[in-house]
Amino acid sequence: MSTHPLLLFLVMAVATYLSRRAFLRLPSRHFSARLKNGLSFIPLGIFASLIFPSLFVAEGQLAVQPLFLIASALCLAVMAVSRNVFISFGVSLGLVVLVSLGVIPL
Task: Over range 51-62, report the average pLDDT.
Answer: 82
Give just the sign of the alpha carbon dihedral 68, 71, 72, 73: positive
pLDDT at 106 over 90: no
Residue 8 has pLDDT above 80, yes or no: yes
Residue 105 Rama label (left phi>0; alpha psi -120 to 50; beta) = beta
The predicted-structure confidence for 10-40, as pLDDT tens digits, reads as follows 999 999 888 888 777 777 677 788 888 888 8
CA distance 84 to 92: 13
The confidence score (pLDDT) of residue 9 equals 93
Locate the domains of the chain by residue range: 1-61, 65-106
Cβ atoms within 10 A of the Cβ of 10, count?
A: 11
Most confident of 8-12, 39-43, 45-49, 53-57: 8-12
DSSP 8-state code for residue 3? S
Which is more confidently placed, 30 or 1?
Answer: 30
The answer, as to whether pTM is greater than 0.75, is: no
